[in-house]
Structure 1
Amino acid sequence: MKVWFITGASRGFGLEITKAVLASGDKVIAAVRTPDEFVLQVSNNENLLVVPLDVTNEEQSKKAVLTGHDYFGRIDVLVNNAGYGLLSAVEEASGEEVKKNYDTNVFGTLNVIRAVLPFMRKQRSGHIINISSVGGLTGSIGWGLYSSTKFAIEGITEALALELAPLGIKATVVEPGYFRTNFLDASSLNRTANIIEDYAETVGKMRAFATQVNRKQPGNPVKLAEAFIKLAVAENPPLHLPLGKDTLERYEHKTAGFAKDIENWYDVIIGTDHDDVVK
């Protein structure tokens, strides 16, 4: 039986993963901003502990993790799910809008990782699962700033996996595509107040698309939660886990384009070393 610490557990992926973990018989420390609202969505369960947490608050992150660890005696799986989207042209967003997105998606994730790792290092076991996005694998119109937060999560997780392997702790970054959750609702997606007309044919169309596709996305969040259960029990979990056909197609398109750039610019790429470097 494992003990999971799940951030952003009150809705979307976090809620579905919490339900799936409890159904599997494991224990959950559900970290949420508003515990009272969350409790109404999940029936009483002796394997569930709800703790208040705003991941941007480092001291509250430490307190939530300590409370959960003291209650169940250990933490085996950390799921960093808390985060929100920012739909904007790169130029349109204000510095404050970008900073707030980073405070939650990147620095909030780091706050919880730093709070959990001392316990995992002491027990010489654990699994950190950071939720990224298809936007963490490739940038796209209107999502550049949000994607940059997820690109950061990709790099952080890759480094974590290397640093933690000798300590018996695993790290995985999960890249979901478009799943039928509330991600495109106003509760999880911010749209900038500033709109520049010159981007009407690019970002403007993406704004319209996001509205049209909301609640019609191809991905099934219940099946995503099932994938997390499999991931947590895997003896050799992957470093990267892209979820959804759309994610896989986008990644394959990017890598094919990358390979083509290398082929076309090969001589320039390898021609930048000093002449005394053995080729």
Structure 2
Amino acid sequence: MEFFGSPSAYINSLSPSSAARDPRVQLPSTTDPPGPNNPPKQLVWLVFGATGHIGRSLAKAALIHNDLVAAVGRTFEDSHESMQRMQYENENCLGLLCDVRVRETVKEVIDRAIAHFGRVDIIANCSGYGVIGACEDQDDYDIRNQFETNFMGTLNIIHLSLPYFRDRRAGRYLIFSSISGALGVPGLGPYCASKYAVEGLVESMLYEVNSFNIKVSLIEPGHIRRDDDTKLTPSTFENAPAHLPAYGHFFIKPTSEPYRTNSSPASHARRLLLWIGDKQPGSAVKAAELVWQLGHCSFPPLRLLLGSYAVDSIRDRLRCITEEIEDWKYLSFPLADQGSAGEHNTDSKSVKSDENEDGPGTG
């Protein structure tokens, strides 16, 4: 899903319909993706964060495939009026608004989506918030807001929808995590911590809900650019604006003096983001097409990595963990000669213990 050269040169050539026709944008056959052998049925999507960095592209991908979409906007940048206009532009789309940190608003959009479409088949959580800055520079509000949005927001969605899926004995969650949920990134400490929490929650829940025919997947995108237009509905798919926001849902925190050097590790995330700008290597349009296929495939994976940066970064991290385990495993699994010595010491201790219980031997 990568382009060689400058991604910005290709922005106007990408659209949900072109991605859907691209044979290279395809899940592996082991997942039984939608196709001739698995004709896709019309499913109902509930997409949280549908106006965000990749949520918009996912909602459009589902609509272009004739699925039904309840698109949930974000209270800090959208309005009820702007979300309601989507329904007038596309009859398959229902525009809603909520704050995932507030359970009452989450419950309201779930109930409205079910009432409007008669059911919900897939819930995708694309909402998120991150602060770029040293751990020491992030105050209580910054940290709590990231956990309330990323972790508690995900938990609110699951808590309030899981009884519905369980009663139906069918349903699917597509939870957007990040490569930051698999490795620590300097300058993104609390954000990584919140994504680690999401990963642990979802992986644990996977085993709990499998018997109810509920499937769960984590999506771990790398650096994904906005290469689609700003409209959510298909009426203006081909008209991409000249400039698209580069930072997504991240806020850059001012750097304190101890971390203000050019080589400070705490400034790594900020330097990387400013260096990449709007030329992230991954395509939101192509990523959305793969996630749409993930919603329709028969055997979804627990994790779907999107982009070469995500694959390389997580693979390198796992290699480091494996090498570290091998370096230190002798502490838990002694070598053969150490094992023999340990057994001898154990026998000696056993004899002494017997002597203490029964008194000294009289031989």
Fold agreement, TM-score > 0.5: yes
- Check 1:30–1:36 CA distance in 2 against 1; reply closer, same or farther (3 A cut): same
Query: What are the Cα deviations for residues 112-149 of structure 1, in whole angstroms up to 9, with x where unaligned?
Result: 11121121111110100100001111111111211111
Query: Mapping of 1:105-254 within 5 angstroms?
Result: 105-181=150-226, 184-185=246-247, 188-193=249-254, 195-198=256-259, 200=261, 201=263, 202-254=265-317
Q: Distance in 1 between matches of 2:333 and 2:124?
A: 40
Query: Mapping of 1:30-109 within 5 angstroms?
Result: 30-32=71-73, 33=75, 34=78, 35-38=80-83, 44-109=89-154
Deviation at 1:43, TM superposition (A): 6.6
- Structure 1 unaligned spans of 5+: none
Q: Distance in 2 between matches of 1:164 and 1:241?
A: 19
Deviation at 1:39, TM superposition (A): 5.5
The residue identity in structure 2 corresponding to 1:190 is: F
Q: Distance in 2 between matches of 1:36 and 1:224?
A: 28
Q: Distance in 1 between matches of 2:296 and 2:141?
A: 40
Deviation at 1:251, TM superposition (A): 1.0
The residue identity in structure 2 corresponding to 1:232 is: G
Query: What are the Cα deviations for residues 18-57 of structure 1, in whole angstroms up to 9, with x where unaligned?
Result: 0000111111111113243345678711111111111111
Deviation at 1:86, TM superposition (A): 1.4
Query: What are the Cα deviations for residues 244-271 of structure 1, in whole angstroms up to 9, with x where unaligned?
Result: 1111101111111111111110111346
- Check 1:48–1:42 CA distance in 2 against 1; reply closer, same or farther (3 A cut): closer
Query: What are the Cα deviations for residues 217-269 of structure 1, in whole angstroms up to 9, with x where unaligned?
Result: 00000000100111011111001111111111011111111111111101113
Q: Distance in 2 between matches of 1:183 and 1:146?
A: 20
Q: Secondary structure at the match of 2:183?
A: coil
Q: Distance in 1 between matches of 2:319 and 2:256?
A: 33
Q: Is the 8 A contact 1:84 1:183 kept in 2?
A: no
Q: Is the 8 A contact 1:78 1:129 kept in 2?
A: yes
Judge which range, 31-40 or 239-248, deviates more.
31-40
- Check 1:76–1:188 CA distance in 2 against 1; reply closer, same or farther (3 A cut): same
Runs of 4+ displaced beyond 4 Å? 38-43
Query: What are the Cα deviations for residues 182-228 of structure 1, in whole angstroms up to 9, with x where unaligned?
Result: 7753x621122452424532223532331221211000000001001
TM-align CA RMSD = 2.1
**Which of these residues, 58, 61, 84, is aligned with residue 17 of structure 1?**
58
- Check 1:196–1:37 CA distance in 2 against 1; reply closer, same or farther (3 A cut): farther
Q: Who wins on radius of gyration, i.e. which is larger?
A: 2
The residue identity in structure 2 corresponding to 1:189 is: F
- Structure 2 unaligned spans of 5+: 1-41, 227-243, 335-342, 347-363
- Check 1:52–1:125 CA distance in 2 against 1; reply closer, same or farther (3 A cut): same
- Check 1:42–1:221 CA distance in 2 against 1; reply closer, same or farther (3 A cut): farther
- Check 1:94–1:184 CA distance in 2 against 1; reply closer, same or farther (3 A cut): farther
The residue identity in structure 2 corresponding to 1:105 is: N
The residue identity in structure 2 corresponding to 1:95 is: D
Aligned length: 273
Q: Distance in 2 between matches of 1:199 and 1:28?
A: 45
Query: What are the Cα deviations for residues 48-71 of structure 1, in whole angstroms up to 9, with x where unaligned?
Result: 111111111111111110011111
Q: Is the 8 A contact 1:88 1:145 kept in 2?
A: no
Q: Distance in 1 between matches of 2:50 and 2:89?
A: 15
Question: Equivalent pairs: percent with the same residue?
Answer: 29
**Residue 263 in 1 paired to residue 326 in 2?**
yes
Q: Is the 8 A contact 1:10 1:38 kept in 2?
A: no
Q: Is the 8 A contact 2:47 2:71 kept in 1?
A: yes
Give the structure 1 partner of residue 45 of structure 2. 4
Judge which range, 42-51 or 245-254, deviates more.
42-51
The residue identity in structure 1 corresponding to 2:102 is: N
